[in-house]
Amino acid sequence: MSQPTLRKQLTTQTTPDDLIRLIEDIASACRRIGDEVRHGAFAGILGAADSKNVQGETQKELDVISDEIFADMVSSGVAALVSEEVETVNWLVDAPNAGQFIVYYDPLDGSSNLDVNLSVGTIFSIVRLTTDVARDDTTTRIPGTEQIAAGYAIYGPSTQLVVTVGQGVQAYTHHPGSGEFLLTTPQMRIPEQTSEFAINASRYDMWEPPVRAYIDDCLRGADGPRGRKFNMRWCASMVADVHRILTRGGVFLYPKDSGNAEQGGKLRLMYEANPMGLLVEAAGGAASTGAGRILEVAPTGHHQRVAVILGSRDEVALIDDYHSR
């Protein structure tokens, strides 16, 4: 094994030691969550909260198990854990190793893919509180520009951890023999141009005119205004879709539409849009709501939802342009 470990690579990037310890905690939690996902069918925990295992025992939902694993294992330097699965902020002020970090996380994203044995993931975002601010829930409404690190684990054919600490994006693959995450892609870069989009096309009738016009134009192929054929992919797992985009380019859209307009979109700002936005920008891409940069959205609450358009830079700029026409 010649590839650097997660710690070695983060050290090379002059990451502060307290942040390395926190990311190592997250890596350990993801390793455990990955094990649970892999053993889910044996334990009978792939389905709904009241699903039963082969012994007929009622099991907890894997989302809940993953949330508990993350909350138990991620503590180094943490001031607060903010989970997509939990209504309130978990302040760790009395913990022996409490510190300045706020960690936002979605413990198991794309969980509708579990029953069908497709890729799911864990997403995280880290902010460092710089001042001695009040420990109340408004403190956690911090815009994405303040993130100092973000990443995700993808539980697919292999378990990979994709991380940015602000200098590029690195992908690490879990090595089952040693248990280590080893650096396998040193610098993920998103090509500026693409001919591939990802969107849930079953919502076509609910889209706003700019999104409909953009997709219509892509589908018109070589004879249309784009002058070329576009390919489509949709995993219904943001982690899997973003991982593909970080690997080979493309754009991902989960726009505001008439079915989710009241909530402001479907995806969560703090647990999905901001961390993925930071990663995509660090890999040379762009992340927009259609009305501005995702990372600059001022949060009104930690469970807030937002429209998401991210991926290849020129294509995101073009979709923004459709929105402003």
Nearest residue relative to ligand AFP (C-beta) = 238
Among 112, 138, 178, 258, binds ligand AFP (CB under 6 A): 112
Is residue 192 within 8 Å of 314, Cβ to Cβ?
yes
Minimum distance from CB of 256 to ligand AFP (Å)? 13
| Angle (nearest 5°) at CA 19 between 13 and 24 | 95
Task: Write the DSSP assignment of 165-231 as a string of letters.
Answer: SSSS-EEEEE-TTT--EEEEES-----S--SEEE--GGGGGGB-HHHHHHHHHHHTGGGSTT-S--E
Among 34, 40, 110, 255, binds ligand AFP (CB under 6 A): 110
Please give the span between the terminal C-alpha atoms of the chain, in angstroms, as a whole number. 53
Give 6 or 278: the residue with its C-beta nearer to ligand AFP.
Answer: 278
Strand partners, 309: 253, 288
Among 49, 95, 236, 317, binds ligand AFP (CB under 6 A): 236
b/e sequence 21-35, b meaning 16+ C-beta within 10 Å: bbbbbbbebbbebbe
How many binding residues for ligand AFP (CB under 6 A)?
A: 10
Which range in 20-28, 97-105, 109-117, 175-183 contacts ligand AFP by CB under 6 A?
109-117
How far apart are the C-alpha atoms of 226 and 233, rounded to whole Å?
18
Minimum distance from CB of 155 to ligand AFP (Å)? 13
Among 25, 109, 257, 281, binds ligand AFP (CB under 6 A): 109
Give 59 or 113: the residue with its C-beta nearer to ligand AFP.
Answer: 113
Give 95 or 236: the residue with its C-beta nearer to ligand AFP.
Answer: 236
Q: Does 200 bind ligand AFP (CB under 6 A)?
A: yes
Q: For residue 239, give the H/E element and its range.
A: helix 238-248
How far apart are the C-alpha atoms of 296 and 316, rounded to whole Å?
16
Annotated binding-site residue? 274: no
Give 111 or 159: the residue with its C-beta nearer to ligand AFP.
Answer: 111
Q: Does 250 bind ligand AFP (CB under 6 A)?
A: no
Residues in contact with ligand AFP by CB under 6 A are 109-112, 200, 236-238, 254, 267
Residues annotated within a binding site for substrate: 109-112, 200, 266
